[in-house]
């Protein structure tokens, strides 16, 4: 077996950061093979004589990751996981659930390196009580590596930063879905905001939507309408995962889905492992084509043939939304993309979460994945999402402040609007960039082009794009041409209060 190029880069970034005394975050999109990266790093540190713990929160991930390590290294790792009936306390490389490890750490040799899979579950503040916190605090001399697709938490906390309160201090590598799809390692998603949307205006928000109230809003007629819609929109899809708010909602949805002729399996947290395995096996052999689930097919669910995701569970958690969508990005010969049918407002609320920058309404109308106005509920609330994450200043590791300058390479869209001014005869062009930082925080950054008396920098804006523009006469005409013009490879943006200004555009070499 051989590492993919980005996997090798991630391994080297993690090892180099550890060698430099850091506790890094490696951010890789769901489906890009984090278990292989973990296995390679564990092998490297084992050869250095270090004791390595790989921790996660569910036994399914322990099972998958340990299996990958055995195949990769040719050696059997130690496992500490009650659900797998294993308690190996004398290993050099140990895979375990955080719950099971907590009970046996007194019997184990102290770790030198702790690698945490799905590390967005680690509190971003070391003062917050948790199982992870108790172990990481107890073994504070061990260096730490975080593996996650989403290095932030629902409360908008980036999980790394400067200071003793953070368990991780830097992001060492970032390989997002956009890059993975472009490189051919992941399958693209096709998002559709359906016509049948659940009304959540009166649902209580307590951190997230109260899911029991969500279920009460889901009438039988509404569920039947959803299933009829799925049957129509996903008629050519082979396998469907339905994300439900509660067990009751999942039971009713499974019943309604069966009426449409699909073979359906129900997967809930109160099922034992044998019952869960039976559902997974039935999906694998084609006995069923639909799984209706409650919080069971996010982390650790690995079924590459999945080509349709149906979401009935509204959420404010962008990390959960990423995990849900990530189930459909694995490559498989039977699919060209994965269809995401959203019936709960998550697309307009949270966007495509770096997987696609636009989605479509059921009638085919293109919709911005980053809404101009935030989703609100009376009284006016800005709900958590990528647009409310605080960008990090890479020079200090702290949250960006006034005059912070960032170099941004993830540019999603460029728009321009002609603004009439009181003083001048001709309009000013406001050019707005929609882009993402390394930690996936969204930034809308603006620059202004003077068309009345253009300066050198204003003319350079068009020259770099090879746009033949005659100012000031063409000002309004070019506003709709900007989006199709040449994009810079990166831009430098500067924070000014709640706004970001573009201070420099950087283009590649012109052939």
pLDDT at 183: 93
Assess if residue 389 is contained within a domain: no
Task: Please enumerate in sequence order all residues whose Cβ is within 8 A of that of 162, keeping only pairs 6 or more positions apart, or say none.
Answer: 169, 396, 397, 398
Whether residues 132 and 240 share a domain: the answer is no
Assess if residue 395 is contained within a domain: no
Q: With 0-12 CB in 10 A as exposed, 13-18 as middle and 19+ as buried, what is 286?
A: exposed
Domain boundary among 349, 384, 419: 384
Residue 371 has pLDDT above 80, yes or no: no
Assess if residue 220 is contained within a domain: yes
Contacts 24+ apart (CB under 8 A), 389-395: 389/152, 389/156, 389/158, 389/318, 389/439, 389/440, 389/441, 389/442, 390/156, 390/158, 390/441, 391/437, 391/439, 391/441, 391/443, 391/495, 392/158, 392/161, 392/171, 392/437, 392/438, 392/439, 392/441, 394/438
For the domain that residue 413 is a member of, what is the CATH number? Answer: 2.40.50
The helix (run of H) or strand (run of E) holding residue 45 is helix 34-47
Assess if residue 391 is contained within a domain: no
Whole-angstrom distance, CA of residue 3 vs CA of residue 43: 13
- How would residue 379 be classed by pLDDT, with cut points 50, 70 and 90? low
pLDDT at 32: 93
Whether residues 123 and 223 share a domain: the answer is no
pLDDT tens digits, one per residue of 404-462? 999 998 888 888 887 776 666 778 888 888 888 877 777 889 998 888 888 888 888 88
Whether residues 413 and 476 share a domain: the answer is yes
Assess if residue 277 is contained within a domain: yes
Assess if residue 251 is contained within a domain: yes
Residue listed under structure tokens 């049957």? 231
Whole-angstrom distance, CA of residue 117 vs CA of residue 144: 11
- How would residue 510 be classed by pLDDT, with cut points 50, 70 and 90? very low
Domain that holds residue 352: 187-384
Give me the number of domains the chain comprises: 3
Whether residues 132 and 55 share a domain: the answer is yes
> What tokens were used for 475?
């000002």
Whether residues 332 and 428 share a domain: the answer is no
Whole-angstrom distance, CA of residue 226 vs CA of residue 290: 14
Min mean pLDDT across 30-44, 104-118, 380-394, 485-499 is at 380-394
Contact in structure between 427 and 451 (CB atoms under 8 Å): yes
> What tokens were used for 220?
């039988």
Residue 127 has pLDDT above 60, yes or no: no
Whether residues 32 and 174 share a domain: the answer is yes
Assess if residue 511 is contained within a domain: no
Average pLDDT along the chain: 86
| Helix, strand or coil, per DSSP, at residue 490 | strand
Mean of pLDDT values over 100-108: 90
Domain boundary among 181, 211, 236: 181
Whether residues 199 and 314 share a domain: the answer is yes
Whether residues 313 and 357 share a domain: the answer is yes
Whether residues 199 and 310 share a domain: the answer is yes
Chain centroid to Cα 124, Å, comes to 17
Whether residues 11 and 149 share a domain: the answer is yes
pLDDT tens digits, one per residue of 24-54? 999 999 889 999 999 999 999 999 999 999 9
For the domain that residue 65 is a member of, what is the CATH number? Answer: 3.40.50.300
C-beta atoms surrounding 303 within 10 Å: 16
Instruction: Supply the DSSP string of 13-26, one letter for each residue.
Output: HHHHHHHTT--EEE
Whole-angstrom distance, CA of residue 155 vs CA of residue 357: 23
Assess if residue 399 is contained within a domain: no
pLDDT tens digits, one per residue of 260-287? 889 999 998 888 888 888 998 999 999 9
Domain boundary among 157, 181, 205: 181
How do beta strands 442-450 and 428-436 pair?
antiparallel
Whether residues 196 and 121 share a domain: the answer is no
pLDDT at 418: 78
Mean of pLDDT values over 230-254: 94
Residue 332 has pLDDT above 90, yes or no: yes
The reported pTM is 0.79
């Amino acid at each position: 077996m051989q590492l993919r190029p980005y996997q090798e880069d991630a391994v080297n970034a993690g090892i180099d950061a550890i060698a430099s005394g850091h506790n890094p975050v490696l951010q890789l999109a769901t489906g890009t093979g984090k278990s292989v990266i973990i296995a390679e790093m564990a092998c490297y540190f084992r050869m250095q004589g270090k004791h390595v713990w790989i921790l996660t929160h569910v036994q399914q991930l322990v099972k998958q990751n340990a299996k990958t390590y055995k195949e990769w290294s040719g050696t059997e790792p130690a496992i500490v996981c009650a659900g797998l009936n294993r308690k190996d306390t004398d290993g050099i490389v140990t895979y375990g659930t955080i719950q099971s490890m907590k009970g046996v750490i007194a019997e184990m040799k102290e770790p030198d390196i702790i690698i945490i899979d799905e590390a967005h579950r680690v509190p971003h503040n070391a003062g917050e009580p948790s199982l992870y916190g108790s172990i990481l605090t107890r073994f504070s001399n061990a260096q730490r590596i975080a593996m996650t697709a989403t290095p932030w938490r629902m409360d908008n906390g980036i999980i790394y930063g400067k200071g003793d309160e953070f368990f991780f201090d830097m992001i060492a590598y970032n390989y997002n879905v956009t890059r993975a799809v472009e490189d051919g390692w992941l399958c693209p998603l096709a998002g559709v905001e359906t016509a049948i949307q659940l009304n959540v205006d009166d649902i209580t928000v307590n951190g997230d939507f109260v899911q029991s109230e969500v279920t009460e809003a889901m009438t039988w007629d509404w569920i039947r309408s959803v299933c009829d819609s799925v049957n129509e929109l996903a008629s050519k899809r082979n396998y469907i995962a339905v994300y439900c708010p509660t067990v009751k909602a999942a039971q009713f949805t499974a019943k309604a889905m069966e009426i449409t002729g699909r073979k359906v399996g129900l997967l809930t947290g109160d099922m034992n492992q044998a019952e869960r395995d039976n559902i997974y096996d039935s999906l694998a052999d084609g006995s069923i084509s639909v799984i209706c689930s409650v919080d069971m097919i996010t982390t650790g669910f690995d079924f590459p043939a999945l080509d349709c995701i149906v979401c009935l569970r509204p959420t404010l958690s962008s990390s959960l939304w990423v995990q849900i969508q990530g189930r459909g990005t694995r490559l498989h010969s039977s699919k060209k993309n994965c269809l995401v049918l959203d019936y709960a407002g998550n697309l307009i609320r949270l966007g495509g979460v770096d997987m696609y920058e636009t989605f479509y309404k059921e009638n085919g109308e293109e919709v911005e994945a980053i809404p101009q106005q935030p989703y609100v509920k009376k009284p006016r609330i800005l709900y958590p999402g990528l647009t409310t994450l605080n960008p990090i200043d890479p020079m200090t590791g702290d949250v960006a402040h006034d005059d912070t300058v960032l170099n941004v390479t993830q540019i999603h869209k460029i728009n321009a609007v002609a603004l009439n001014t009181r003083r001048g005869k001709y309009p000013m062009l406001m050019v707005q960039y929609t882009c993402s930082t390394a930690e996936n925080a969204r930034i809308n950054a603006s620059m202004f082009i003077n068309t009345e008396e253009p300066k050198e920098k204003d003319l350079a804006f068009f020259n770099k794009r090879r746009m033949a523009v005659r100012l000031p006469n063409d000002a309004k005409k070019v506003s709709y041409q900007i989006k199709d013009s040449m994009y810079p490879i990166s831009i430098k943006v500067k924070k000014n209060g709640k706004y970001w200004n573009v201070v420099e555009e950087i283009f590649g070499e012109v052939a």
